[in-house]
Structure 1
Amino acid sequence: MSLSRDADATRISVTVGNDDNATAQSYRLRVQTQGRRRVITVLGADPVGAMYGGLDIAEAIRTGTLDSLTDSDHKPHIAKRGIKLNIPLDLRTPSYTDCSDAAQANIPEMWEREFWTSFLDAMARHRYNVLSLWSLHPFPSLVKVPEFPEVALNDVWRTRAKLDDTFSFSGSDMVRPAMLANREVVKRITIDEKIEFWRWVMQQAADRGIQVYVFTWNVFTFGAEGKHGITNDLDNEITKKYFRASVRETVKTYPLLAGMGITAGEGMPNNMDSKVKEAWLWDTYGEGVRDALKDDPKRQFGMIHRFHWTAQSDILDAFKEYPGPFEFSFKYSVAHMYSITKPQFIKPLLENLAPGRKTWLTVRNDDIYTFRFGDPTYAREYILNIPPADKIAGFYMGPDGYVWGRDFLERNPDPGTRPLVMEKQWYSFMLWGRLAYDPSLTDSHFERLLAARHPKASSTHLFRALQGASQVMPLTTRFFWGDIDLKWFPEACWSHRRSKGQGFYTARHFMEGSSMPGSEVLCIRDWRARLVARKPMEQTTPLEIADALDGAAAQTFASLDALREAATADAELRKNMNDCEALAWLGRYYAAKIRGACALAIFDSTGGKFDHDAAIRHFNDALSHWKRYAAVRDAHYVPALYNRLGYVDVTALTTQVAADLDIAREWKPGTLKDDGKRSGTEKGFRN
């Protein structure tokens, strides 16, 4: 490859080396001067390393920094960097997210080749190399099982029934009779064609250096129940034989499948002895893999066992004869990766992890569904704080309440186009993937990429606007904690209405709530107790969180003002700015709400008119900010039904935001409840 520039030229060559000592995925850039020519050579340790090196060169060309390239060595900071996709395959074989608008809209997309080439291209470009596909029971949509021929499903179905928020949190009723009765066929395709399709997807992934895993929850039999005597009863021997045979056929049918992930989870009774759970999983998944590998004993097929209502010792005892790589999986930030950069939940696990064993990190993003994220400082610190490689196999990040397929939230998309979420939020996905490979990349590197994407805009101001707006969720969530997705959705100050009957979180909830464990942030009750007792504030106070939120909003608004003119001719820049503006108003809302709750807590203690008036004033401000937030958000995005959260309509919630004023006006001193709990983590959250 040769690039000419006047009389000078730069020649680029890419070479795949055979260095047995080189780290997988690593590469070296070597720059030589030959007269008036520069020769840049990429030496990849393997094809993936060569590809990453080539992508570096392409990026340098795009950003105009080719002349600044020098000799450098590159290797992955985290070896396995993945995406978690709850995949909506079919009405009859749902994922955990299928009772949501995003999942229903994306069912046809999962069976389109153009979707997967774009998706996998974006993964490789951002340096992700693991794709994990999560489904309650995917086998009928993926394989034919000779012993159970009626199970395999032709065609792709979707329900036309209107969904609501009454689905079980455990996934047990994800396919209802009314949904099956009112259905449509979105694609005519035989099971043989489905198998060919998914073999093609896995080949496309392999060509881009991406390994594919399939994860299941257990025990679900959607699509198979009632056929051949199959039920979801763990004691049903036919069901056990069916699962074992389905696992066997999945392994054999897909030679490029890297492994499976399993769960002793929602489909098993909570009070069942973990030894019994693990015995069932071994008899089905473990033995199924062993059956498949009898004909291919050299194949390395991984098994990832989630820590989920089961005991490590029982897992290891049951799977002691597993014939391949065996690792664990743990919810690193529970459901909120946008909270603090060093979550503490994994500490007990690491202290007791069996020697030589590793765990994957499930990095859940149930914080930001709608908006673009862009804070490299936060992402870099989070990645650098991930425990070392002797304990950690890698990570996969993704949501449970939303689907990272195509984006169906945008109110008025460009005609005929719905971008992938990974395309819409390209900057966010780039930050996490690139920094996970190389956390030494500087902020200026990402600013240059913004400049190349939006050449007429000030990259400095765009960088600062995105960074300021992206601080709103972490600041708020570390102060007000709900561990799992159904308990806290910061985009709407919301929880599922069946989660202790809360729905919208009121001023009282903020006063009685807890901060995130390990965040070093005082909740309002602790702050008030220290204030009244004149004790020093040794942790971040609620008012300091409010000040930080206002500071982030101020940074965002100031930077947006400098971008207005450039946005007139740049549609994507305008969308970035809309997201930033919405988040800035949301930050101001939470700042005012926190101040109001603090003032009301003092009034509860003292009965002073000054504090009561201050609380009312702050809640008035909060209402004003919320209206601005809702106006910006809902001008560009539609309300939506989310899994385990229900239907969220930000504008409609304005009435409940206003009710905080009534709560403040009618508050009686001495009525603030204090149950003594200070930790936001409760027993039973899903690891």
Structure 2
Amino acid sequence: MTIKRLFPSFVLLFLLNATAACAQEVTLVYDETVPQEAYAARKLGEALEEQGYELGSDRSGYDHLISLSVHEERLGSEAFAIVPEDRVTSVYGGDHRGLIYGALALAETLRNGTPLTAVESTEQSPNLAFRGIKYNLPWETYRPSSALDQHYETARDLDYWESFLDMMVANRFNAISLWNLHPFTFMIQPKNFPEASPWSDKEFAQWQRLYREIFRMAKERGLDTYLVHWSIFVSREFAEAHSVAEQNFYPHYYVEGDTSEIVRRYLRESVTQVLEEYPNLDGFGISHGEGMAGMTPLERQKWMDDVLIAGMLDADRPVKLIHRVPFSSGTGSEPGVSKSVEVVTRDAMEKLEDRFDGPIWVEMKFNWSHAHSTPELVKVHGGKLGDTYFKPTPKNYKVTWQARNEDFFALRWGVPDFIRQHIALNGAADYVGGYFVGSETYIPALDYFTAVDEPVDWNWAFERQWLFYQLWGRLLYDPETPDSVFQAAFNRRYGAKGDNLLNAYSLASSTQLRLASLYDSRWDFTLYSEGFLALQGDYTRYISVDHLIDHPTMDPDYVSVADFVETMHEGGSFGVDRITPPILAEQLERDNREALRLVEGIDTEGNASLMYEVADVKTWAHLGLHLAEKLKGAVALHRYRLYGDEEQQQVAIRHLQQALAHWDQVVEITRPIYRDMPLTHYNHNFFEANDENLFHWALVRDEVAQDVDIARSAESESSDR
């Protein structure tokens, strides 16, 4: 009754369509022997039945026929076309992956309320060839942490993987990379090194089934699969049996490289055996980093060539390769060798020529571990990047940017124009192949956030962040995808109550991007934007007003508080393209107050899922208003300290009190609906009172309040000048 009252014309149209659809029998024609075509037909069939159509098999007496087929001559790889004509709708794919995308696109159109008879012709093709997910597995994971360990059982649940892989293909991601230190003993019983396995036959059979099913389901959905592991790691059992690699096993992760012959044999044979025993696995990723301390760049590359790459090439089948760039910059070459790390790596990749299936995907971390900052490339892991990998244009490899997210896990996020700008600035060059999206310190498996007992429309963590994955996946496939596609997804979930949510998220969750552009960061723990935390010395803490004043910016267009105050005092100025603290504060206030206005009055009674959506917008908005007030307070405090004027001290106190008031609003919103959440960034802290690494905005409230005390107790330095 409520829906009918809100949308009388919509409901009437829906009922008319449903009534008509109930009388319509639809026949799907496809090759049942091809797993990808069967999957496409199954997902399309589900949408048809949801809309009231009946599925039939009669190829002569149907009301409507949908033909699914591959048309390589007409369409390119991963492209699709939907061609309606009278009572027949043809869905073509340039390959089976494109056919799946076409079937899912038609299913989406039907779910948006378009009857089969009104479907219009459409054709799409991919903008970027590689659209991957970086997924850290919780066993032998890179960063031992309670935040990661908690996902162990969920990540062994095949129902979970079926849902996650469905999400990937629905959003047009085409590759999943599974990362952990040493995957081999979970997947094989090494033929010549049985002592390396820690499992009973029953335990190993369970692990083997898990990996086989993940790869099978991925293949059915047209997804490529990769194992990415760190370099010279073995099982503890292997290390102890042979008295080698004394720390090259979980939970250690930055240790000396052990290049002894038995380690080399074990790893080379393990790579080959995995490829032989898992035919649905597409490839491997290699990493010049952890497990190789004490080795020069040339030694590391030679070891890669002789062990891991050789093991891949020993397998008698096509193999795809992800080659991570070395983490260090500069020269660091062997004595007498004047080649930089970049030159060594490029030479090694080019020598492989056409040894691998398709281009080598060269992974580079965009803005280190915090790609959700500025869309301008400022740095990669280790610092600035030269043009060695780009000039001249490579022939056998493509750069794939790693868009790491170590900044938000609990709050929903969605800024479509940021992703479009990111792709426009960094995805157009002929040497770019695509993107990875994923985290090191977070696994999107167990929902460890939700605190309410009311039913919600998700089971697992990644489903809470549905907008994040949809935006990245669909825009990587086609950056021209309009906002109306994403707005329709809100309306499918919440009806007219979702009308303003896309705009509200775009405005409010830009707070995170602005903080990460303002506050420079490097590796994982150096920033957690969602919590306004950063690594300060040996501890991860709330970003105090003092740290905000002194810290450099990530985005060179942004101006730090210290630079702004001191430049302006000396009579200087900033160009119109620079974002000074007052300009940033104004942007934050404008956008976040508008976001609050957009969600004001949305009735979430009886719908806990919608309640969370609205609450997250409000939380981001108050975090943004908190930052705006904090910036104003920081400017005034720095002026007072450097140049006197006690009025500036009082201004600082007032703004920092307002910043605290907005933080209290965040606590008021989130305390009833979010649990205390394990956070990997807290690994270094070792607080006795927080030995489980728990984060909640309420738990750091006292740290936020200290800003006011800092301003009250501040002293002017002007008398010393």
Task: Please classify the TM superposition score into its range, dividing by the shorter chain length.
Answer: 0.7 to 0.9
Percent pairwise identity: 25
CA distance in 2, matches of 1:50, 1:460: 31
Task: Write 1 or 2 for the structure with the bigger share of helix.
Answer: 2
1:259 aligns with 2:283: yes
Structure 1 residues 56 and 501: CA distance shift in structure 2, 3 A = closer
Alignment-derived partner of residue 179 in structure 1: none
Alignment-derived partner of residue 379 in structure 2: 345
- Displacement of 1:88 in angstroms is 1.0
CA distance in 2, matches of 1:392, 1:198: 30
CA distance in 2, matches of 1:526, 1:277: 42
- Displacement of 1:109 in angstroms is 1.8
Alignment-derived partner of residue 486 in structure 1: 525
Alignment-derived partner of residue 104 in structure 1: 149
Alignment-derived partner of residue 432 in structure 2: 392
Alignment-derived partner of residue 78 in structure 2: 25
Alignment-derived partner of residue 313 in structure 1: 343
Superposed, 1:104-503 pairs within 5 Å as 104-154=149-199, 189-223=202-236, 224-231=238-245, 232=248, 233-269=257-293, 272-293=295-316, 296=317, 299-309=318-328, 311-318=341-348, 320-321=351-352, 323-325=355-357, 326-345=360-379, 348-350=385-387, 352-353=389-390, 355-356=394-395, 357-388=397-428, 390-412=430-452, 419-457=459-497, 459-496=498-535, 499-501=537-539, 503=541
1:664 aligns with 2:704: no
Per-residue displacement from partner, 1:192-217 (whole Å, max 9, x unpaired)?
A: 34223312210100110111111111
SS at match of 1:153: coil
Per-residue displacement from partner, 1:91-126 (whole Å, max 9, x unpaired)?
A: xxx11144132x222111222211111111111111
1:614 aligns with 2:651: yes
Structure 1 residues 272 and 228: CA distance shift in structure 2, 3 A = closer
Alignment-derived partner of residue 54 in structure 2: none
CA distance in 2, matches of 1:408, 1:401: 14
CA distance in 2, matches of 1:272, 1:672: 53
Return 5+ residue gaps in structure 2 as ranges.
1-16, 25-62, 249-256, 330-340, 684-692
Alignment-derived partner of residue 682 in structure 1: none
CA distance in 2, matches of 1:14, 1:603: 73
Amino acid in structure 2 at the alignment position of 1:85: Y
CA distance in 1, matches of 2:459, 2:287: 32
Q: Greater RCO between the two (CA within 8 Å, min separation 6)?
A: 1
CA distance in 2, matches of 1:474, 1:508: 21
Contact 2:427 2:434 in 1 (8 A): no
CA distance in 1, matches of 2:600, 2:588: 19
Contact 2:174 2:223 in 1 (8 A): yes
SS at match of 2:533: coil
Alignment-derived partner of residue 132 in structure 2: 82
CA distance in 1, matches of 2:260, 2:105: 54
CA distance in 1, matches of 2:454, 2:276: 42
Alignment-derived partner of residue 690 in structure 2: none
CA distance in 2, matches of 1:7, 1:415: 30
Structure 1 residues 14 and 376: CA distance shift in structure 2, 3 A = farther
Alignment-derived partner of residue 688 in structure 2: none
SS at match of 1:536: coil
Contact 1:494 1:505 in 2 (8 A): yes
Alignment-derived partner of residue 32 in structure 2: none
Return 5+ residue gaps in structure 1 as ranges.
156-187, 674-687
Per-residue displacement from partner, 1:376-428 (whole Å, max 9, x unpaired)?
A: 22222222322336212221111111111222122235579972222111122
Per-residue displacement from partner, 1:336-377 (whole Å, max 9, x unpaired)?
A: 232122333368444543632322211101111111112222
Per-residue displacement from partner, 1:438-481 (whole Å, max 9, x unpaired)?
A: 11121122212211111151x33222222222111011111112
- Displacement of 1:75 in angstroms is 0.3
SS at match of 2:503: helix
Per-residue displacement from partner, 1:20-58 (whole Å, max 9, x unpaired)?
A: 4632110112233x3xxx643221111211111111111
Alignment-derived partner of residue 542 in structure 2: 504
Alignment-derived partner of residue 52 in structure 1: 101
Superposed, 1:559-598 pairs within 5 Å as 559-563=598-602, 565=603, 567-598=604-635
Contact 2:197 2:235 in 1 (8 A): no
Give the TM-score taking structure 2 as reference length.
0.81
Superposed, 1:615-654 pairs within 5 Å as 615-646=652-683, 647=693, 648-654=695-701
Contact 1:379 1:435 in 2 (8 A): yes
Amino acid in structure 2 at the alignment position of 1:313: V
CA distance in 2, matches of 1:644, 1:585: 23
Structure 1 residues 327 and 471: CA distance shift in structure 2, 3 A = closer
Aligned length, in residue pairs: 621
Contact 2:374 2:555 in 1 (8 A): no
Alignment-derived partner of residue 515 in structure 1: 553
- Displacement of 1:501 in angstroms is 4.5
- Displacement of 1:330 in angstroms is 0.3
Structure 1 residues 6 and 397: CA distance shift in structure 2, 3 A = closer
- Displacement of 1:8 in angstroms is 10
SS at match of 2:191: coil
Amino acid in structure 1 at the alignment position of 2:239: E
